[in-house]
Amino acid sequence: MVDLPGITRVPVHGQPEDIYEQISKIITEFITLEESIILNVLSASVDFTTCESIRMSQRVDKMGQRTLAVVTKADKSPEGLLEKVTADDVNIGLGYVCVRNRIGDESYEEARAEEARLFTTHPQLSTINKSIVGIPVLAERLVKIQAAIIVKCLPDIVRKINDKLSANLEELNKLPNHLTSVAEAMTTFLHILGSAKESLRKLLLQGKFDEYPDVSSDQKFLMDEIKVLVEAKSIGLPNFLSKTAFLTLLQRQVTAISVKPVDLVEKIWSYLEKAAQILIAKKKEKSVIWVNDMVEMEKLSDYTCNPEFKGVVEEAFDVKMRMTAYWEIVTRRMVDNVALHLLFCIRNLVNKEMQTEIINELVGPQKNGALERMLDESPLIAEKRNKLKKSIKVLKESRDLVTNIIDRVVTNFG
């Protein structure tokens, strides 16, 4: 039960200028709660329709379902009280209870006895129904009203507790498992390592490399070839294909795509860095050097032992056809070599080197206590886990407590 301050409109004795607004805010904050009973204390001498407290309660409880009015000083202003409490002009949903205030040094028992005598013998007050007079009646009404509110509100409170409890349990289960022994740490480590190897094996060893350079030349067909042939015409024999012209075109094509193999290697090794950064740095450097050497080798000569190459060359389009045939071989060879090299390196990395390097990094002779340090949980995770456990404990206790209260209320007042 909260005894709220009386409504003050005019500040006195140093009270702040906005005393009315402050008190109104406090009162509204308490009476807005759905599980609260609004107990309007009214003097029998005032006109109920002008009471500020009733107007405030009607804002938050329009139907008056949890508003009860207590009429005090019934012995001081008995005239017309019966009409006031029976007419209910201001829509007090739970009705009225008329009481007599304790006077002077009266004890509680004396005050109740005098109150009972007053509403029994007074000519006007005795006509009021005995079900709405006296402090004992008020106490009983409050208990029953509160019990009804509890029965109505507590199931929703239990539901909210269960929702919060489920959310906390789900969040707790999502946290990483807390390792408590070296055996658990090693088991977890080997499981993670095995999963990483299997993931890399599927993504890298069984993947597809489909970013090949586009060799189509739909625009300005043969223009580059003709231009190079014109430039090399004076230094070649008639009806013989100029080796200089062919090498010039070949070098242009190789140069144009020279960055693609390097980019491919960069992308793949950048992806693998997450799994084994130290080992990958060494492998990456070797792969880049190897690919650059391969590109430079393609620039040196038009050599190939592929028998299909010379058979494709035709007289009308000697340069273009020879270029097309050999360029196909170059691109296939570069793609095959890069792919095979990467597959070879990745296979060794995934199947052998990564596991050896990581295990050595963790439990090698120079890594004393590294495995034990896996048992140390992150401070942030540990703090979050402890908070969730405490919250879950409190929520379970609260749920049990509220459930017991509901059972008692239903048993006693159902």
pLDDT digits (tens, 9 = 90+) for 141-154: 888 888 887 777 78
pLDDT in tens, 226-272: 565 555 555 454 544 555 666 676 677 677 777 776 776 676 666 55
Q: Give the per-residue SS3 of 373-397.
A: HCCCCCHHHHHHHHHHHHHHHHHHH
Segment among 68-77, 93-102, 185-194, 200-209 with least mean pLDDT: 200-209
* C-alpha closest to that of 341 among 395, 283, 402: 283
pLDDT tens by residue, 361-392: 666 565 566 666 666 777 888 889 899 999 99
Mean pLDDT for all residues in the chain? 76
Check whether 412 has a pLDDT greater than 70: yes
How far is CA 266 from its chain centroid?
34
pLDDT given for residue 166 in this prediction: 94
231-265 burial, b at 16+ Cβ within 10 Å, e below that, comes to ebeeeeeeeeebeebbbbbbeebbeebbebbeebb
> Could you give the CA distance from residue 273 to residue 346 in angstroms, rounded to a whole number?
12
Task: Tell me how far apart the alpha carbons of residues 12 and 14 are, in angstroms, rounded to a whole number.
Answer: 6
- Per residue in 3-15, pLDDT (tens digit) is 787 777 788 877 8
Asked whether residue 189 carries a pLDDT value surpassing 90, the answer given is no
Confidence check: pLDDT of 185 > 80: no
Say yes or no to pLDDT of 398 above 50: yes
**Average pLDDT in the 185-189 region?**
73
pLDDT at 337: 79
Average pLDDT over residues 104-130: 90
Instruction: Determine if the pTM surpasses 0.85.
Output: no
What pLDDT is recorded for position 105?
A: 85
Cβ density class 345-359: b for 16+ within 10 Å, e for less: bbeebbeebbbebbe
Confidence of residue 314 (pLDDT cuts 50, 70, 90): very low
**CA 179 – CA 185 distance, rounded (Å):** 6
Do 197 and 357 form a contact (C-beta atoms < 8 A)? no
Residue 313's contacts (CB-CB under 8 Å, 6 or more residues apart) are 241, 321, 322, 325
Bigger pLDDT: 134 vs 192: 134
Q: How crowded is residue 375: how many other Cβ atoms within 10 Å of its Cβ?
A: 13
The whole-number pLDDT of residue 203 equals 64
The band of 287, judged by pLDDT with boundaries at 50, 70 and 90, is confident
Instruction: Single out the residue of 18, 24, 32, 30 nearest to residue 6, CA to CA.
Output: 24
Q: What pLDDT is stored for residue 224 in this prediction?
A: 61
pLDDT value, residue 97? 92
- Residue 77: pLDDT over 80: yes
In contact, 73 and 118? CB cutoff 8 Å: no
Give the CATH fold of the 182-373 domain. Four Helix Bundle (Hemerythrin (Met), subunit A) (1.20.120)
pLDDT band with cut points at 50, 70 and 90 for residue 273: low
pLDDT at 163 over 80: yes
Say how many C-beta atoms besides its own lie within 10 A of residue 280's C-beta: 23
**What residues does each domain of the chain span?**
32-133, 159-174+377-413, 182-373
Q: What is the pLDDT of residue 414?
A: 60
For 32-133, the fitting CATH number among 3.40.50.300, 3.40.50.10310, 3.40.50.10470, 3.40.630.40 is 3.40.50.300
CA distances from 309 to 246, 255, 257 (A): 14, 21, 21
* Six token digits for residue 206: 């069984």
Q: What is the pLDDT of residue 209?
A: 38
Report the pLDDT value the prediction gives residue 250, as an integer from 0 to 100.
Answer: 67
Phi-psi region of 41 (alpha: psi -120 to 50; beta: other; left: phi over 0): beta
| 151 and 347 Cβ atoms separated by less than 8 Å | no
Please say if the pLDDT value at position 106 is more than 50. Answer: yes
